[in-house]
C-alpha cells in the first residue's frame, strides 16, 4: 500500500497549489510496522514546514515586489538564498536582492526584502525550547534531546545553543532599569495611604562558590567565584489566601560581573507585588556580600541571620565533637564541660538570640580543645586525635567570627518560632543548591566563566519562576509557547 501525503496551499484569491510531501510504502501489517516511524514523522514534519514556510515567504515577496510609491515592480538584482532555523528543521528560503525603484531617491541602490520579514534567522519557538532546556540541563544534552524527537539539523550544536541563550539573556539584561543605592521612595504619610499589602515577604539570600575556567576571573591563582542566589516567598495573597503552596520566586547573580544586583532583587520583589508598606524579612547566610545586597530596598524590612545556616555550622561542629575521643568524663564537672554539652549550650543561646553568651560558651569549647595537646603537667604531647581536634578548633574560631560579624542579625529565634513567624527560608533545600549547584557545581568537570554563569542563571531563574514565556511574548507578541508537559520544578526534583 502507498500512503501519499500531499499539502494543498490555498491562496487568498482561492488558487490552489498541491505538493506531494511523502510517499510511504507499507506491505503486510505487523505490530512494529503499523503507522509512522519516528524518523518518517521527523522527515514529514520537516518537509511540511519547508512547504508552508516557502509559501508564506513567496506570498510576502510577491506582495512586497511593487514599489510603494509608484506600484511598478522592482527589478531583481540577484537571487540569493537564506536559511531559517525552526523547531522543525532548517528551512531554505529565497532571499532576493531587488533594485530600488528610480521614482524616488534612496540611500542604497538595492534592498533585501526578506530582512524586514526575518530580522533574526532562528524562530522564537526554537529559541524558547533551546533556552528553556539549556537552563535546566547542559547545552550538549539539550540539543541531543531536541534532536531525538524533532527534525533539528545536525549542524545545530551545543555552542549554538549556548550563544543563543547568552544573546537572549543579554537582551533581557539590557532592558533592566538603572541601578540605585537607595530604592525606598516617598515618605511615611504616602506609605500610609497605600492599600493593605499582601502577606509578609520572606527573602532568603545565599552565597555559593562556582569553579571558574582557568583565567576566566582574570587572576592567575583564584579560579573560584561567588554566586548569590535568593528565594522570595510571599506568605499569602489577599485575593487568594488559600493559594498552596505560597508563591515563591528565585533570583541569582554573579556579583563580579553584575552591575545591577540591587535592581535585580528589587524587580523580583516588585514582580511579586511588593508595596512600600509591606513587611519584608531578609534572611541571609551571614556572608558580607550577601548581607549588604538587600540594604535600602524596603522601608518596612528586617534583616535576620537565617537559622538554617546557624544550624548547618553547629551540625558540622557536633559531628567533629562526636568523632573526637574525649577524655573520660570522670566526674560531674568533667561531664559538664564535655564538648557536646557546650555546643548544646551554644545552640540554646543562639536560639534565644543571646550571641554574647553563645560566644562565651564557644570560648569554653575552644579552651577545652586547646588543652588537648597538653598532658596534665602542661607538657606538649600530641594525641592521636590532635589533628581532628585542631580541625574542630578551626571551625570553632570561624563560628566565633561568624557570630561576631552577624551579632546585629541574630534575633530571638525561639520567640519568633513560638509566634509562628519564619526563622529560615532554606530548611527543605537551600536556594543555592536548587538554583546554582544542580546546574553548575555537581558536575565538577564543568568550568564556567563568571559572565557565562551569570547569563545562564538569568534564564534559569526565569524558567524556574515560570516567567520565561512571558518574557518571550514581550519580544515576540504573537509567540505562543506549547503547553509545557515537564515543569522546571519536576525536572529539578528528578
**Is 141 a residue that touches Zn ion (CB under 5 A)?**
no
Give the binding range for Zn ion (CB under 5 A) out of 68-76, 220-228, 255-263, 432-440: 68-76
The helices-and-strands tally (H runs, E runs) of the chain is: 19, 10
SS3 269: helix
DSSP string, 279-291: -EEEEE-S-HHHH
Q: What are phi and psi of 380, to 5 degrees?
A: -70, 110
Tell which phi-psi region holds residue 35, choosing left (phi > 0), alpha (psi between -120 and 50) or beta.
Answer: left
Q: What are phi and psi of 434, to 5 degrees?
A: -70, -45
For Zn ion, the closer CB: 36 or 103: 103
Question: Least CB distance from residue 59 to Zn ion, whole Å?
Answer: 21
Closest CA to 458 of 467, 446, 449: 467
Burial of 132 (0-12, 13-18, 19+ CB in 10 A): buried
Distance CA 450, CA 253 (A): 9
Give the binding range for Zn ion (CB under 5 A) out of 103-111, 177-185, 215-223, 327-335: 103-111
Please enumerate in sequence order all residues whose Cβ is within 8 A of that of 15, keeping only pairs 6 or more positions apart, or say none. none
For Zn ion, the closer CB: 29 or 103: 103
Residues touching Zn ion, count (CB under 5 A): 5
**Is 75 a residue that touches Zn ion (CB under 5 A)?**
no
Question: Least CB distance from residue 110 to Zn ion, whole Å?
Answer: 14
**Is 214 a residue that touches Zn ion (CB under 5 A)?**
no
For Zn ion, the closer CB: 65 or 451: 65
Question: Least CB distance from residue 107 to Zn ion, whole Å?
Answer: 15
For Zn ion, the closer CB: 35 or 73: 73
For Zn ion, the closer CB: 69 or 384: 69
Among 44, 61, 67, 137, binds Zn ion (CB under 5 A): 67
Please enumerate in sequence order all residues whose Cβ is within 8 A of that of 184, keeping only pairs 6 or more positions apart, or say none. 276, 296, 297, 298, 299
CA distances for 442 relative to 211, 229, 327, angstroms: 11, 16, 39
For Zn ion, the closer CB: 73 or 241: 73
Give the binding range for Zn ion (CB under 5 A) out of 21-29, 96-104, 255-263, 362-370: 96-104
Please give the span between the terminal C-alpha atoms of the chain, in angstroms, as a whole number.
Answer: 44
For Zn ion, the closer CB: 99 or 316: 99
**Is 70 a residue that touches Zn ion (CB under 5 A)?**
yes
Question: Least CB distance from residue 71 to Zn ion, whole Å?
Answer: 7
Question: Least CB distance from residue 65 to Zn ion, whole Å?
Answer: 12
| H helix or E strand, kind and range, residue 493 | helix 488-493
What's the residue count for the chain?
A: 494
**Is 103 a residue that touches Zn ion (CB under 5 A)?**
yes
What b/e string do you get for 325-334 counting C-beta neighbours within 10 Å, with b at 16 or more? ebeeeeeeee
Residues 400-439 as x/- pattern, contact with Zn ion by CB under 5 A = ----------------------------------------
Distance CA 273, CA 246 (A): 14
Among 22, 101, 141, 257, binds Zn ion (CB under 5 A): 101
Distance CA 148, CA 160 (A): 17
Give the binding range for Zn ion (CB under 5 A) out of 11-19, 95-103, 176-184, 407-415: 95-103
Question: Least CB distance from residue 117 to Zn ion, whole Å?
Answer: 20
For Zn ion, the closer CB: 69 or 380: 69
Query: Across-strand partners of 66?
Result: 73
For Zn ion, the closer CB: 69 or 214: 69
**Is 69 a residue that touches Zn ion (CB under 5 A)?**
yes
Give the binding range for Zn ion (CB under 5 A) out of 83-91, 93-101, 187-195, 422-430: 93-101
Question: Least CB distance from residue 69 to Zn ion, whole Å?
Answer: 4
Question: Least CB distance from residue 115 to Zn ion, whole Å?
Answer: 20
Tell which phi-psi region holds residue 452, choosing left (phi > 0), alpha (psi between -120 and 50) or beta.
Answer: alpha
For Zn ion, the closer CB: 101 or 441: 101
Distance CA 380, CA 436 (A): 46
Question: Least CB distance from residue 17 to Zn ion, whole Å?
Answer: 29
For Zn ion, the closer CB: 4 or 69: 69
Question: Least CB distance from residue 99 to Zn ion, whole Å?
Answer: 11
Give the binding range for Zn ion (CB under 5 A) out of 59-67, 259-267, 269-277, 346-354: 59-67
Give the binding range for Zn ion (CB under 5 A) out of 34-42, 98-106, 156-164, 435-443: 98-106
CA distances for 106 relative to 101, 102, 113, 116, 465, angstroms: 9, 8, 15, 17, 48
Q: Could you tell me if 81 and 92 are in contact, meaning their C-beta atoms sit under 8 angstroms apart?
A: yes
For Zn ion, the closer CB: 66 or 480: 66
Locate cell 564543568: which residue? 446
Give the binding range for Zn ion (CB under 5 A) out of 32-40, 94-102, 111-119, 183-191: 94-102
For Zn ion, the closer CB: 111 or 337: 111
Distance CA 361, CA 7 (A): 81
Query: How would you list the strands of the sheet with 224-234, edge to edge?
Result: 248-254, 224-234, 201-211, 280-284, 301-305
Tell me 195's DSSP state: P
Question: Least CB distance from residue 100 to Zn ion, whole Å?
Answer: 8
Binding site for Zn ion (CB under 5 A): 67, 69-70, 101, 103
Amino acid at each position: 500500500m502507498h500512503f501519499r501525503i500531499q499539502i494543498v496551499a490555498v491562496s487568498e484569491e482561492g488558487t490552489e497549489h498541491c505538493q506531494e510531501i511523502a510517499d510511504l510504502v507499507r506491505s503486510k501489517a505487523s505490530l512494529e510496522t503499523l503507522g509512522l516511524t519516528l524518523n518518517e514523522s521527523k522527515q514529514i514534519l520537516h518537509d511540511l514546514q519547508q512547504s508552508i514556510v516557502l509559501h508564506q515567504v513567496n506570498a510576502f515577496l510577491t506582495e512586497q515586489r511593487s514599489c510603494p510609491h509608484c506600484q511598478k515592480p522592482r527589478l531583481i538584482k540577484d537571487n540569493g538564498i537564506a536559511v531559517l532555523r525552526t523547531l522543525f528543521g532548517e528551512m531554505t528560503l529565497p532571499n532576493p536582492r531587488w533594485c530600488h525603484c528610480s521614482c524616488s531617491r534612496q540611500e542604497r541602490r538595492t534592498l533585501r526584502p526578506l530582512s524586514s520579514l526575518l530580522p533574526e534567522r532562528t524562530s522564537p519557538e526554537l529559541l524558547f525550547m533551546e533556552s528553556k532546556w539549556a537552563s535546566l540541563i547542559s547545552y550538549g544534552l539539550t540539543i541531543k534531546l531536541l534532536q531525538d524527537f524533532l527534525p533539528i539539523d545536525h549542524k545545530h550544536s551545543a555552542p549554538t545553543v549556548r550563544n543563543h541563550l547568552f544573546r537572549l539573556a543579554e537582551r533581557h539584561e539590557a532592558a533592566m532599569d538603572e541601578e540605585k543605592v537607595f530604592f525606598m521612595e516617598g515618605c511615611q504619610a504616602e506609605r500610609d495611604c497605600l492599600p493593605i499589602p499582601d502577606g509578609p515577604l520572606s527573602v532568603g539570600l545565599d552565597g555559593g562558590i562556582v569553579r571558574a575556567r582557568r583565567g576566566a576571573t582574570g587572576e592567575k591563582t583564584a579560579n573560584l567565584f561567588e554566586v548569590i542566589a535568593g528565594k522570595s516567598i510571599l506568605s499569602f495573597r489577599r485575593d487568594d489566601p488559600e493559594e498552596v503552596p505560597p508563591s515563591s520566586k528565585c533570583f541569582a547573580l554573579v556579583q563580579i560581573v553584575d552591575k545591577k544586583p540591587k535592581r535585580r532583587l528589587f524587580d523580583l520583589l516588585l514582580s511579586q507585588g511588593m508595596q512600600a508598606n509591606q513587611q519584608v524579612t531578609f534572611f541571609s547566610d551571614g556572608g558580607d556580600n550577601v548581607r549588604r545586597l538587600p540594604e535600602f530596598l524596603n522601608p518596612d524590612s528586617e534583616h535576620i541571620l537565617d537559622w538554617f545556616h546557624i544550624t548547618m555550622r553547629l551540625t558540622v561542629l557536633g559531628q567533629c565533637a562526636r568523632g573526637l575521643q574525649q577524655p573520660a568524663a570522670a566526674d560531674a564537672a568533667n561531664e559538664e564541660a564535655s564538648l557536646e554539652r557546650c555546643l548544646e549550650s551554644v545552640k540554646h543561646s543562639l536560639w534565644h538570640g543571646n550571641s554574647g553568651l553563645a560566644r562565651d560558651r564557644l570560648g569554653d569549647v575552644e579552651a577545652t580543645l586547646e588543652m588537648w595537646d597538653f598532658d596534665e603537667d602542661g607538657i606538649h604531647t600530641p594525641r592521636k586525635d590532635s589533628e581532628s581536634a585542631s580541625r574542630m578548633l578551626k571551625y570553632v574560631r570561624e563560628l566565633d567570627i561568624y557570630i561576631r560579624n552577624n551579632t546585629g542579625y541574630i534575633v530571638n529565634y525561639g520567640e519568633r518560632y513560638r509566634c509562628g513567624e519564619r526563622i529560615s527560608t532554606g530548611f527543605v533545600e537551600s536556594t543555592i543548591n536548587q538554583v546554582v549547584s544542580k546546574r553548575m557545581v555537581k558536575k565538577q568537570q564543568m568550568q564556567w566563566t563568571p559572565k557565562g554563569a551569570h547569563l545562564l542563571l538569568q534564564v534559569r531563574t526565569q524558567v524556574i519562576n515560570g516567567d520565561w514565556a512571558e518574557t518571550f511574548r514581550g519580544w515576540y507578541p504573537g509567540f505562543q509557547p506549547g503547553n509545557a508537559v515537564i515543569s522546571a520544578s519536576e525536572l529539578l526534583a528528578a
